[in-house]
Structure 1
Amino acid sequence: MLTPKYPRPDTAPAATIPATEVPAPAPTVPAPAAPLASRPAVQLTPGSALALAAGGGAVVLVVGAVLVSMLLAVAITGVSVALVAVVLRLLLKDLAQQR
């Protein structure tokens, strides 16, 4: 039941490839290098430069807001845990004094 089942070996007769004489390859001459196409440089118009600056500023503001909100969440969680620890300590102290 747990033994592997292997497929049957292929029963087709092995094809034999007749040996033929391979001609020697002709000497190759390297092709001349193509001249580099001159690409025009990117030119920024005043409008596109302004849009690029505004987009970069927006990205900085969004990333800053996300980081500040994460820092605020961590700070609020830390304060909450500290308050719970103080309350629990006071409750345990009162419980110990009553006995």
Structure 2
Amino acid sequence: MPAGTPELSVVVTVVDGGEAVRGVLDALVRQDGAPPMEVLVAWDDTIPEVGALAAAYPTVRFIAMGTVQTERPPRSPAGQHELFDRRRSAALPHTT
């Protein structure tokens, strides 16, 4: 990833965890000719394997959210949508 003051903030919303996130991060850190960017990944207790990726991607900021409460059952489609929105929005205050 290009160094310097970020011109672009990329918030990765985790849906499937592990290998899917690894593929996205690999593609982002290998960008050629991209503007300086920051990559943020918010994750919660339901996807602990994502936090374990932090050591492999030192230029990516991983934001641990702990346990996330949803108003709808987390396994329902509406609850999943709410959880993904909460993950995405948790990273926004951390952008530069």
Q: Which interval holds the TM-score relative to the shorter structure? A: under 0.3
Which structure has the greater CA radius of gyration? 1
Greater strand share, structure number: 2
TM-score where L is the length of structure 1? 0.20
TM-score where L is the length of structure 2? 0.21
Greater helix share, structure number: 1
